[in-house]
Chains A and B, each alone.
Chain A
Amino acid sequence: MDLVQLQRQLVDYRTSLYHEGFLDEQFTQLQSLQDENNPDFVVEVVSLFFEDSERLLNELSKALEQQVIDFKRMDAQVHQLKGSSSSIGAHRVQKLCIVFRNYCEAQNVEGCLKCLQQVKHEYGIIKTKLESMFQLEQQILNAGGSIPV
C-alpha cells in the first residue's frame, strides 16, 4: 500500500474513533503535545495508560472476589482509572468509570461486577484500536512519510 493511501487510512481510522466515541477531544490535545522535542509522547503516555489500567483492572477483579469487599478502596481505584482514561481521551472507558463509581458508592456488588466486565470489555477494545492505530503510524513512518495531523 502506498504512502498516501496509508495516510488516508490513518486519518479515516482516527476520525472513526472520534465519531464512534472511543476517543474524545483530549486525545487531540495529547497529539498536539507531541513535537520534535517529544516525538513519542503519545505512544509513551498510552503505554503508561495500558500498564496502569491493566494493573487496576486486576486489582478490581481481585477485590470483587473477596468475602468482604472493600468498596472504598475500589472506589479509589476506579477513580484512578477514570482519571487516566480521561487524560488520554479514552471516552467510553471514562464514562463507564463514572457509572462504576456510582455502584461502588451504592455498594451494589451486582452492579460492580457487571460494570467491571463492561470496563474490561471497553478497555480491550480501545487497546486494540489504539494499537492498530500505532501500527499504522509505524508503517507510515517506515515508509518514510509523516504522520498527518
Chain B
Amino acid sequence: MAKPPRLLIRTFARYTERTAFERPLTSGVAYAVRVLHSEREQFEKQQGWTIKRMDTLEQNPVHKDDYNPDLLEPSPIQEEYAPVVFAQDIVSHVVSIDMLSGQEDSKNVLCARKSGKGVLTAPFRLLKTNRLGVILTFAVYKRDLPLNATPTERIQATDGYLGGVFDIESLVEKLLQQLASKQTILVNVLDTTNQSYPISMYGLNASNDGLEHVSLLNFGDPFRKHEMRCRFKQKPPWPWLGITTSIGILVIALLVGHIFHATVNRIAKVEDDCHKMMELKKQAEAADVAKSQFLATVSHEIRTPMNGVLGMLHMLMDTDLDVTQLDYVRTAQASGKALVALINEVLDQAKIESGKLELEEVQFDLRAILDDVLSLFSGKSQDKGVELAVYISDQVPQMLIGDPGRFRQIIINLMGNSIKFTEKGHILVTVHLVEEVIDSIEVETESSSENTLSGFPVADRRQSWKGFRTFSQEGFIHPFSHSINLIVSVEDTGEGIPLEAQSRVFTPFMQVGPSISRTHGGTGIGLSISKCLVNLMKGEIGFASIPKIGSTFTFTAIFTSGSSSSKKYKSQQINKMSNSVSSEFYGMRALVMDPRPVRAKVSKYQIRRLGIHVEVVSQWKQGLSSICRGSNAINMVIVEQEVWDKYLNNSTLFFDTLEKIDYGTPPKVFLLSNSISSSGANISTGVCNMTVIPKPLRSSMLAAALQRTMGVGNKGNPCNGQLNSLSLRNLLLGRKILIVDDNNVNLKVAAGAMKKYGADVVSATRGIEAIELLTPPHQFDACFMDIQMPEMDGFEATRRIRDMEHNINNRIHHGELSVEAYNNVSNWHVSILAMTADVIQATREECLRCGMDGYVSKPFEAEQLYREVSRFFQ
C-alpha cells in the first residue's frame, strides 16, 4: 500500500466540497482504507499519525469545539482496521479514526463489504457534533466483481470504504421544506428496524394525540426500515363551514322529505276523498232514480182512487141536476181533474229533472183556463176572506196555440203561493199583451196606493218586470207576426217576501223559513219549475215584493195566435158553456156599482164575456139616477158588497125607488159578496129578491145566477156526458168504420160503442183481414186497430196498408192505373187509429212512425175518442 500523496487528500476534500450540491442530503463524505494489522505500522508511518479509536459519548462528553482528535486513544490491537484517510472538510475530524472501532460503524462496514451494497447504520450520535445521524457505507473494491461473487471474494477484494454522513435533522428539514403549510407540522423520523423499539432519529417525542400520518422512508438500505410520522402541531379547528353546510343540507333534506311526505299524504287523501265522492255520487244518483221511481209509483197509486172519484162525479152528472148543482158538480170534477193533472205534473217534475220536458202545441182558450184556475182557488179564498179576481185584456185573442197545461201550472203555482201567504185584501191576476203594457209604461202616472182592488196597498207591478229584457230599449225585438207575447201578473196583498230571501226565491226547495212547510205545506219547488217552464215558453219571470205589503209576480210567455183552426193541432174541448150561454144574454145591459175602479174593471170584464153591456158607477145614487133615467133599459144591477154594507143595508130607499120604476120590469139586483154565508143573513125581509153571487166572479156563475132569476136559458143543460156523445154522434153518423181486434170481447165492446154513435161498423180479428179490407178501393172512413195481435201486430198491418196505398197512389199518378177505378180518389190514406191498453209515450211515437194517425186507449173514453176522431171528421 503506497502512501497516498498529500495532494490526493486535498483533492478529495476540495472535490467533495464542490460536488456537495450533488449530494444535498449528505452532510459529508469520507473514505476509510482497509488496513490489515500486519500493515499497521507501515501505514501509521506513512500517514504520520496513529490509528485512533472512537470515543463513546457516555464516557467523555465533550463539547464539539473542544473536540480534539489528538486526544483520542490509539486503537487497540485488532485483526484489521479501517482508518479514515480522506474526508470532506465538514467531517475532517474523523480522519485517522478507525471506523471499525465504533460499534455501529464496524457493523456497517463489515456488512457493506460483504454485500456489496450500501448499508445504513442505526441512528446514533455523530462524533464531534453529537447530532443524530446515520452513515451510509459503500465498500470500494480493487477490481470489478461479478454479481454473483461470494462474500469471501468480496472481503478479499475490498480496498476501502466510502461513507456518507446523513445528519438526520438537517436531512429532515431539507426534505420537509416542501411540506411548509399554514399549520405547523410535527415530524418524527424513526428507525423502525426493530418494531418494538423504534429509534427516534428526528423530532420531538410529543404526545401522540391527533391524527398521525405515517410514511415509510427508503434510503436504499434493505436491512433497515425507516418511518416518518407527521402530525399537525395544533389541533385542527372545527370545520365550521363543513358543519354548517352539512347541517344546512340535512335541514333542507328533512324539509324536502317533509314536503314530499306531506304532498304524498295530501294526494292520497284527495284521492280518497275523490273515491268517497264517487261513491256518494253513485249513491246520490241511485237515490235520485229511486226517488223518481217512488214518485212515479206513488202517483200511480193515487191515480186509481182519483179515477174512482171522477167516475162517480161523471155518473152524478148523468143524473138529473139543476143549474147550481150542475155548476158545483162541474167544479168538483174540474178540481178532481186538476188533481189528477197535478199528479201528472209531479211525474213531470221527474221529467224536468232529467231534462226531458217538451211543450205541447195545442189550441186552447186562455179565458177558460183562468176560469178553471179561479174555480180551483175560489173555495180557499172565500174561506180566508181574500178577494180573488181575474182580468184578461180584450186584446188577447180568444184562442192561442201553446201548452195550456204548463201555462196553467205556472199560474196555479203563483196563485197557490199568493193564497198561502195572504190573509186579507186581494189576489189579482191580469193578462195583457206586452205591447199594451209597454205603451203604458211611459204614460204611467203616479198610482196611488189606494187605487187597488181591495184598497190595500200592493207591490208595484212595474218593479216586477223592471229587469225584463223584453222591455229594455235594445232588447225588444218584434216577434213574428203570428206570435202573441203575453204578460201575466199575479198581485197579492200578503206577507211579502223578506228582503234577505228575495234573491233565493227561484232556487228549488228554498222556502222563506223552516216553519213555512209546517204551517203552509209545500216543498218549495214550485217557483223553480215555473221558472223553467217560463223559460221554455221563451219568456221571463220576475217579482216585486215589499214585506208586510204584498208581492207581485210577473211573467211573459210567447204563444201563437190560434184563430186559424188548422187541422194539425189537436183542439182542446172548447168551453161549451160560454159559447152556448153567451148568446142568451147578448144585448142585455148591466149596471155595476163599485167605487174601486180596478175591481170594477174585473167585474166588467167577466160580465162582458156573456155579451152583456156594462156601465160602471162608483156612487149608488148616481146609479139610481141612471136607472131611473131609463134612456137605456137596464136589466140588472150588480152591487159590490162594500157598497151594500156601507150604504144600502139599512136603507130602503134603493129598493123602493127600483120598485117604483114604471117602465118595463125593474132590474134584478145581484150582490157580489166575498163569502156565501155573510150576506145571506143580511138580506132584510120585504126586499125584492136579491141574488147573491159569491166572488170570485166567474162568467159561469153569473150566467147560472142570471138564468135562475131571469128564467132565461134552458134549464138542465145537456150534461157533459150527453154533450160528448152528441158531438160524437155528429161526427160519426153514417161513417164506415173498421175495427180490428183479436179479442172478441174487446171487439164487441168497441163495435158497440161505435154503433151507438151511429157509425157503420165492420169487425175483423186479424191483421191480414184488415189489410184485405183496406185495399183500395174501399169505403172505409177510418180504422181502429188493436196493436197487440198474435199473427201480425197493428204496426205491421198499418205499415203494409200504407205501403199499399203509397204504391197505388204512385201508380195512379203515373197513369198506370185509372183513377176512376179507384172511386176517383188519387191519394188514398185511410185514417188508422191505434187502440192500445198501455198509453205510453213510446207507443205513441211508434204509432206515428208506422203511419198511424193517432191512438186511443182501450177501453174507449168518450172525450179522448172525440178528440182524436174530430181531427179527421170535422
Determine if A38 and B752 form an interchain contact, defined as CB atoms under 8 angstroms apart: yes
Contact mask for chain A residues 23-48; partner B; CB cutoff 8 A; 1 contact, 0 none: 01110111011010110010011001
Q: Which residues of A contact B744 (CB under 8 A)?
A: 48, 52, 84
Determine if A79 and B788 form an interchain contact, defined as CB atoms under 8 angstroms apart: yes
Determine if A45 and B837 form an interchain contact, defined as CB atoms under 8 angstroms apart: no
Find the B residue at minimum CB distance from A44.
Answer: B748
Cβ-based interface call for B742 (8 A): yes
Q: Which residues of B contact A49 (CB under 8 A)?
A: 745
Q: Which residues of B contact A83 (CB under 8 A)?
A: 741, 743, 745-746, 837, 858
Cβ-based interface call for A119 (8 A): no
Q: Which of B750-787 contact A (CB under 8 A)?
A: 750, 752-753, 755-756
Cβ-based interface call for B749 (8 A): yes
Determine if B860 and A29 form an interchain contact, defined as CB atoms under 8 angstroms apart: yes
Determine if A33 and B311 form an interchain contact, defined as CB atoms under 8 angstroms apart: no
Cβ-based interface call for A86 (8 A): yes
Find the A residue at minimum CB distance from B862.
Answer: A29
- Minimum C-beta distance from A44 to chain B (A): 7
Q: Which residues of A contact B308 (CB under 8 A)?
A: 24
Q: A28-B311, A87-B749 are in contact. Are A33 and B756 (CB under 8 A)?
A: yes
Bound form: Cα–Cα A79–B788 in Å = 9
Q: Which residues of A contact B859 (CB under 8 A)?
A: 26, 29, 86-87, 89
Cβ-based interface call for A88 (8 A): yes
Q: Which residues of A contact B721 (CB under 8 A)?
A: 32
Task: Give the contact-size bracket for chain B.
Answer: 20 to 34
Task: Tell me which of A37, A45, A79 contacts B745 (CB under 8 A).
Answer: A45
Determine if A37 and B755 form an interchain contact, defined as CB atoms under 8 angstroms apart: yes
Q: Which residues of B contact A149 (CB under 8 A)?
A: 318
Determine if B745 and A87 form an interchain contact, defined as CB atoms under 8 angstroms apart: yes
Q: Which residues of B contact A76 (CB under 8 A)?
A: 790
Q: Which residues of B contact A33 (CB under 8 A)?
A: 749, 752-753, 755-756
Cβ-based interface call for A80 (8 A): yes
Q: A25-B314, A83-B837 are in contact. Are A52 and B745 (CB under 8 A)?
A: yes
Determine if B746 and A84 form an interchain contact, defined as CB atoms under 8 angstroms apart: yes
Cβ-based interface call for B307 (8 A): yes
Bound form: Cα–Cα A26–B311 in Å = 9
Bound form: Cα–Cα A16–B292 in Å = 36
Task: Tell me which of A24, A41, A80, A84 contacts B752 (CB under 8 A).
Answer: A41
Cβ-based interface call for B681 (8 A): no
Determine if A28 and B746 form an interchain contact, defined as CB atoms under 8 angstroms apart: no
Determine if B315 and A87 form an interchain contact, defined as CB atoms under 8 angstroms apart: no
Find the B residue at minimum CB distance from A34.
Answer: B752
Bound form: Cα–Cα A149–B837 in Å = 27
Determine if A30 and B788 form an interchain contact, defined as CB atoms under 8 angstroms apart: no
Determine if A28 and B315 form an interchain contact, defined as CB atoms under 8 angstroms apart: yes
Task: Tell me which of B743, B748, B750, B858 contacts A80 (CB under 8 A).
Answer: B743
- Minimum C-beta distance from A65 to chain B (A): 22
Determine if A48 and B748 form an interchain contact, defined as CB atoms under 8 angstroms apart: yes
- Minimum C-beta distance from A41 to chain B (A): 5
Determine if B752 and A45 form an interchain contact, defined as CB atoms under 8 angstroms apart: yes
Bound form: Cα–Cα A48–B743 in Å = 10
Determine if A30 and B307 form an interchain contact, defined as CB atoms under 8 angstroms apart: no
Q: A25-B311, A52-B744, A87-B743 are in contact. Are A30 and B749 (CB under 8 A)?
A: yes
Find the B residue at minimum CB distance from A79.
Answer: B788
Q: Which residues of B contact A25 (CB under 8 A)?
A: 307, 311, 314
Q: Which residues of A contact B755 (CB under 8 A)?
A: 33, 37-38
Q: Which of A44, A82, A87 has the most CB of B within 10 A?
A: A87
- Minimum C-beta distance from B803 to chain A (A): 26
Bound form: Cα–Cα A88–B756 in Å = 16
Contacts A/B (CB < 8 Å), 8 sampled: A24-B308, A29-B859, A33-B753, A45-B752, A83-B745, A83-B837, A86-B837, A87-B858
* Top 10 A-B residue pairs of the complex, sorted by shortest distance between their CB atoms: A84-B745, A25-B311, A33-B752, A87-B749, A87-B746, A83-B743, A49-B745, A26-B859, A33-B756, A87-B859
Known: A38-B752, A44-B748, A83-B746. 13 other contacts (CB 8 A): A32-B721, A33-B749, A33-B752, A35-B756, A45-B749, A48-B744, A48-B745, A83-B743, A84-B744, A84-B745, A86-B858, A87-B859, A89-B859
